[in-house]
Structure 1
Amino acid sequence: MGPVTKVFNDPIHGHIEMHPLLVRIIDTPQFQRLRFIKQLGGTYFVYPGASHNRFEHSIGVAYLAGQLVKALKERQPDLGIDERDVLCVQIAGLCHDLGHGPFSHLFDAAFIPRTRPGIKWKHEDASLKMFDHLLKSNGLEDAFGNYHLNLNDDIIFIKEQIKGEPLTPEENQGWPYKGRPREKGFLYEIVANKIHGIDVDKWDYFARDSYHLGMQINFDFTRFLKFARVCNIDDEQKTICTRDKEAGDLYDMFHTRYTLHRRAYQHNVVNGIERMITEALVLADPFIKIRGTGGRSRRMSESIDDMEAYTKLTDGVFQKILWSTCDDLKEAQKILQKVVKRELYKCIGHVRPEEEREVKKVVPLDYGMKEENPIDKAWFYRKDNQNQAVKIPKAQVPQLLPERFKEQLIQVYCKKIDGKSVEAAKKLFAKWCSDKKLTALRVDDDNTAPEPNLKRQQQ
């Protein structure tokens, strides 16, 4: 039987038809692993609808990447976008999250820094390694060739998109990417846009996460698809733009990001649970062994160096620890038993300092570019000149817009949850706030997050 397309019935995008090569990638152990990694990590323990996984998100990103690049190809034939470009962009969208570990960002943001403090590692690094492993271990190099993709420029192009930047830094000031020339540089903005953050990865997880969390959002990515064009910044550089009148909708997009972080991703109960899971994984790390390349046993923290071992590491490690009969895992097991029984660390207060402070653990809330306004980095075009990229001053957007684009939130927890310990911790917290001249924010009995402080003003 020859290569066939496959249709996925997705709750967000409807019926998605996947190219045969993408189907070959999906039907590998390395990609199927994503079925067992929660998209939102510990958030599922607070929001019961947030049961979706990296698997469906990755398919959604591949679909949206294809929709955007195909729209540009059809709308502007002079750009020279060919079928190889389209397929490479779709593959990058499909494979961009291959490197996520158990409970998604918990693994690279909390577990690895505590177990491998001497290394700088992000899940994108593992995505590149896992992509190579996927190709070699499943013999897909020939399949890529059958669809006229080469193992030099095209593979490099896919990996550059996954990483979101050049694979190796260039010493000169020329074009740093190897996979595609400067005239097609706009293709690097589709999957992971490190310039201003407007990319299809965000479009999918905004829509998918809000759907599963049961939250309404205002941003509609289909409008961007309708108005997207590639415009000239100067004689050499091109970029993907949208109409100037859509600037307000893009502010809605970044406010959506902030809202999802405040209400769900950085919810104080979520952060407390993820802290507990992290502590359990750290305690279990010396005793959980995973068979890797050549039969070598790897710790969880070592599996990032061996993709055969990493392929076997998923959220299932939670159950492995929880039901283990190994005495060495008892301390980790006790913590996870508390998670299951909802004997959770108690959040005793929040502090939102006016100035940025150096603290051990701070919850950042922003529009995606720290203290900067991401729209200042975006480009637009006007109706009377659809080929020239322009900037839109903030004052021209007829909306209530933020004064600030970043804030810190310090959350304080008490591990002992008996009434006496919690009351003592609250008094110590109040004294600390008084000494630091900070105002403590009330925490409701149900541990809901405090209201936002990104003030808005009329322009």
Structure 2
Amino acid sequence: MGKLRIRDAIHGDLVFEGELGELMRALIDTPIFQRLRHVHQNGLTHMVFPGAEHSRFVHSIGVAGVAQRMLDAIEANSGETFEQGVREATVVAALLHDVGHAPFSHTFEEIVGRDKFDHEKMGVRIIEGDEEGGLRMILECHRKGMSKGVADYIRGSSKSWAKAIVSSQLDADRLDYVRRDATLAGIDNLRPDITRLIENLTLYKDPSSGQDKVVVYDKAFDVVESVLLALDHLYGRVYFHKAVRAATVLLEALIRRAVEIEGKAFPDKSEVFCRLCSEGGRISLSDYVDATEATLWCHVSRWRRESWVDPVLHHLAKCLVGRKFPKTLELPYDNNLAVVDLHDKAINLVKEHYGEDWIPYLVKLDDSIRVNYRRFQAGAKMHEKEPIWLYSPSSSSENSRILAIEDEPRSNVRIGGERIYKGRLYAPKEVIRELRGYAERKKIKL
């Protein structure tokens, strides 16, 4: 039986022993998983933060390593011995949680619509499907019924307590990207002590339901808060950075235009990105293996050179390759009438400078919103994520208790529970310049 050792830039050595190591190696070496090397973890963030070149491939391996460490800590602290099947399914689900992501991830889904393409549904199909390119055979050869068990984690229907390691408000996914994305973007002061947090995880049997819950010893509540605060800063400083959002807005406009003029943009209808846009989640897995960001960049390079294809597409491609992102106007969050006024003015200015056909691609009202922690609500639906539970042990099990972190008197998590909102308007440089003058004349406070 083999051992798989991977040297990770964030977590150090990730070691998967025995049969789990063999299984991990077999899954990682499949073409459908290797495809993630060519899907950036954070879309176009690397065009603003040059160090953020990391892929969903390396992130997924990191999540699997964190999940294994979480299992080890919970097992040691709870005194439980977990079945090998539970351990393997949890680590593998952590590894495969992003396997369905399309090129440019969430940006692509927003353009074509979640009803047409959903990365979680695609991930389940890759894990459970019998198609060529899927992973079902590898999983079933390892352990009968494993493909369904892993897929249940991804679709959120697993009954196991360990589902919290794969998907929760304090899961392995978050614990990886809160460190990886910040470090590789060059944000040095966002380094919550993930090791200490993991070492303070355990299981608590809820007396009212009889169910096991993953909880954090209350002595480590400050680390939990540091993670939530780091997430807030990460969204504010990286994901919602105005230039990152501007690059994303430009990419969205370019792909949307390409989809709308499909015949001109994609002369070869059998080309994989064209088929992905038209077929969405129905694309065959054997074709999906080739759906990487490189496939779109090849088209972008051609659209940049060939102005005769379409003037709008040509312009957007030149702007993307040359990093000529749209400019930003920060909007007043407490004056909806002013926002509508500025948006209408931007539309009129683009119509005047470029023509009416250009409006959908050059003016974008962007209201990025994120809530990094959702408070507990009695009667919440089963699929909604539970709160982060703090555990206060006692020599008497009757006196032991758990408390949602937002109910801890010392906690500042209410800050992390507030939404992060960035209201902006994106348009060409000359339009934004005129808008600023317009806002000043109208006495609109920006």
- Both proteins in one fold, TM over 0.5: yes
Aligned partner of 1:15: which letter?
D
* Superposition misfits of 4+ residues, deviation over 6 angstroms: none
Query: Deviation of residue 393 (structure 1)?
Result: 5.8
Q: Deviations over 1:78-112 (max 9, x none)?
A: 4x51111111111101110011111222112x322
Describe the SS at the equivalent of 1:225. Answer: helix
Q: Aligned pair in 2 of structure 1 residues 247, 433: CA closer, same or farther (>3 Å)?
A: farther
Q: Aligned pair in 2 of structure 1 residues 189, 431: CA closer, same or farther (>3 Å)?
A: farther
Of 3, 6, 9, 1:5 maps to 3
* Amino-acid identity (%): 21
Aligned partner of 1:342: which letter?
R
Query: Deviation of residue 142 (structure 1)?
Result: 5.3
Quote the Cα distance in structure 2 between the aligned partners of 1:61 and 1:111: 27
Q: Aligned pair in 2 of structure 1 residues 331, 310: CA closer, same or farther (>3 Å)?
A: farther
Quote the Cα distance in structure 2 between the aligned partners of 1:362 and 1:408: 7
Query: Deviation of residue 378 (structure 1)?
Result: 2.1
- 2:198 match: 225
Matched, 1:73 2:75: yes
Query: Deviation of residue 247 (structure 1)?
Result: 1.9
Q: Deviations over 1:384-430 (max 9, x none)?
A: 25964411564521669629611432101222x23xx3321223455
Q: Aligned pair in 2 of structure 1 residues 386, 27: CA closer, same or farther (>3 Å)?
A: farther
- 2:319 match: 338
Of 140, 152, 158, 2:150 maps to 158
> Which residues in structure 2 correspond to 1:120-131 (within 5 Å)?
121-131=117-127
Describe the SS at the equivalent of 2:44. Answer: helix
Q: Aligned pair in 2 of structure 1 residues 247, 340: CA closer, same or farther (>3 Å)?
A: same
Quote the Cα distance in structure 2 between the aligned partners of 1:207 and 1:296: 32
Q: Is the 2:190–2:230 contact (alpha carbons within 8 Å) kept by the matching residues of 1? A: yes
- 2:332 match: 351
- 2:275 match: 298
Q: Is the 1:254–1:367 contact (alpha carbons within 8 Å) kept by the matching residues of 2? A: yes
Query: Deviation of residue 205 (structure 1)?
Result: 0.6
Q: Deviations over 1:238-284 (max 9, x none)?
A: 20111112222212211111111110101111111111111111222
- 1:390 match: 402
Quote the Cα distance in structure 1 between the aligned partners of 2:443 and 2:313: 32
- 1:316 match: 294
What's the TM-score, normalizing by structure 1? 0.77
Query: Deviation of residue 342 (structure 1)?
Result: 2.6
Aligned partner of 2:192: which letter?
F
Q: Aligned pair in 2 of structure 1 residues 296, 54: CA closer, same or farther (>3 Å)?
A: closer
5+ unaligned residues in a row in structure 1: which ranges?
A: 167-176, 441-459
Matched, 1:263 2:268: no
* Structure with more helix by fraction: 2
Quote the Cα distance in structure 2 between the aligned partners of 1:370 and 1:272: 31
Describe the SS at the equivalent of 2:7. Answer: strand
The more displaced of 402-411 and 226-235 is: 402-411
- 1:457 match: none
Q: Is the 1:231–1:386 contact (alpha carbons within 8 Å) kept by the matching residues of 2? A: no
Quote the Cα distance in structure 1 between the aligned partners of 2:136 and 2:117: 27
- 1:89 match: 90
Q: Aligned pair in 2 of structure 1 residues 245, 431: CA closer, same or farther (>3 Å)?
A: farther
Q: Is the 1:321–1:333 contact (alpha carbons within 8 Å) kept by the matching residues of 2? A: no
The more displaced of 242-251 and 224-233 is: 242-251
Of 367, 376, 395, 1:362 maps to 367
Quote the Cα distance in structure 1 between the aligned partners of 2:123 and 2:386: 30
Q: Aligned pair in 2 of structure 1 residues 385, 187: CA closer, same or farther (>3 Å)?
A: farther
Q: Aligned pair in 2 of structure 1 residues 428, 394: CA closer, same or farther (>3 Å)?
A: farther
- 1:45 match: 47
Q: Is the 1:100–1:127 contact (alpha carbons within 8 Å) kept by the matching residues of 2? A: yes
> Which residues in structure 2 correspond to 1:423-434 (within 5 Å)?
423-429=433-439, 434=444
Quote the Cα distance in structure 2 between the aligned partners of 1:129 and 1:428: 51
Quote the Cα distance in structure 2 between the aligned partners of 1:39 and 1:362: 22
Aligned partner of 2:329: which letter?
I
Quote the Cα distance in structure 2 between the aligned partners of 1:426 and 1:248: 43
Quote the Cα distance in structure 1 between the aligned partners of 2:339 and 2:147: 41
- 2:424 match: 411
Quote the Cα distance in structure 1 between the aligned partners of 2:311 and 2:180: 37
Q: Is the 1:370–1:406 contact (alpha carbons within 8 Å) kept by the matching residues of 2? A: no
5+ unaligned residues in a row in structure 2: which ranges?
A: 341-364, 378-383
Number of matched pairs: 397
Q: Aligned pair in 2 of structure 1 residues 161, 404: CA closer, same or farther (>3 Å)?
A: closer
Quote the Cα distance in structure 2 between the aligned partners of 1:400 and 1:137: 46
Of 189, 203, 219, 2:164 maps to 189
Describe the SS at the equivalent of 1:362. Answer: strand
